[in-house]
Structure 1
Amino acid sequence: MSRGTILITGASSGLGAEMARQFATLGYDLGICARRTERLDELRAEIVAAHPDRVVSVKQLDVTDDAAVFTVFDEFADELGTIDRVIVNAGLGKGAPLGTGLHKANRETVMVNFVAALAQSEAALKIFRAQGRGHLVMISSLSAVRGMPKQLTTYAATKTGVAALAEGVRMEAIPGVDVSVIYPGYIRSEMNDQVKYPPKFMVDTETGVRAMVAAIEKRRAKAYVPAWPWVPLGYLLRALPTPIVRKLL
């Protein structure tokens, strides 16, 4: 018997794919979408082989196509019968220091991480309002706790925007709708697997996502994951003076 249905964007790799695996193990049916459908098909086959009773629906989606976002979300709702949780996960890690001639990369990150997240939130909440219930989950980042330098400046700003968007929805207190913001620390994923020198405290994908899934299942309003060391480090990043944070980064 299914525990419910979860729609995950950006599910073709990294955190999204691993969330799909772990939620399927917990007994959820899934709607997974991304640009790369061949990877989604492989993920679906893997999940169904391990959990034959699970329903896994696959759809192609470029989250920067607003009309497609609404269409695909509605198609998932029709196909699955209901959508109990939407995880706005699709993201991009491009970026460069402002004023260095790479505006195109920074703009692309803004469009994927924030503008597309707005469309996904709109589409999800349209469904939740009609159902009278639902759980909106926004994947932010520890970089959102304050402004970040150099190549992280734009990325961090988009993740701050995502968190603020979620907080605004929570403030509205839509009947039956819960809103969670997840702030992952350093978790290994396709977005960062080319980093020559992995940062301290980085955990493997499975471990990091397990912490994310646990927080989502508890419907936490906000969660820094994994809790150690990111709860205390998140506090320090917010509280320390800028010159000290600059040295730490």
Structure 2
Amino acid sequence: MNRFLKYSNKNYSPLNQNPQHKFAQNHALCIYNSDAVYSFIPKNACSTLRTTVAYANGCIRDKSEFNWIHNNNHTFVATLPELVKAKYTFTVLRCPFSRLVSVYLDKIVGRDLDAWRYVDVHNRNIGVEDITFDFFVRSMEKPGVRNSNIHWRPQVDFLVYEEYDDYFALEDFSRAVKTLKERIGIDVIDARSLTNHGRDGFDLVSGEDFSMVKPFDLLKNKMNGALPDLKSLYNEELVEIVSRVFRSDIDLYLSKFGADGLMYA
């Protein structure tokens, strides 16, 4: 079966100078014993799967060494022959609405380094405390902001192939665990408890509109064990913006999984 590269023919420049292809290739990781390629997309269980890949490739002994992955994002990047000759390919997609909330609560509210990079993208004309979820979503209408960081960049940009053997939905991740064991014999190492990026263990607050709440107030609630329910950060206007700006991601998700996993169909 021929594997067609998604962005190779978007321009006729040398492939190693094609920016769309190079970006996608840099997020395609080899699992060597399986001749498999995994395209990782930040905020889509990528820490769990990069830890799994590192273990499968013999570079870490168990999940206690998971921090190794953060300095080795490019260690297993597939070459052109490895991309073309891969026997199995897969990726994980996520509901674009929940992905955007997740990155906001993790990176912006959590005052991660990415929050300060976001401020830099705005030429430091804003402070971290100005970045409400409403402001964050509206800023995604600007391509320079939307494409400035891998954690909120559109998911389609990370896909190096036109088609993958398997697409997994984060909302049904147990299917990925089962299928990867059956297809290529790897055991997925769950790193969620180590990264603390998820919402497990938090009380989820609903029934309020959190879209204009200041990040520091959300952080105080988070430190007290409470997070807004995902839908509590959206209103009708913000749903419309995400639906329009991330239309390619939504269309891809719908084509692979249908509407059940989307927050807003």
Give your verdict on TM over 0.5.
Answer: no
Name whichever structure is richer in strand by fraction. 1
TM-score with structure 2 length normalisation?
0.30
Q: Which has the larger Rg? A: 2
TM-score with structure 1 length normalisation?
0.31
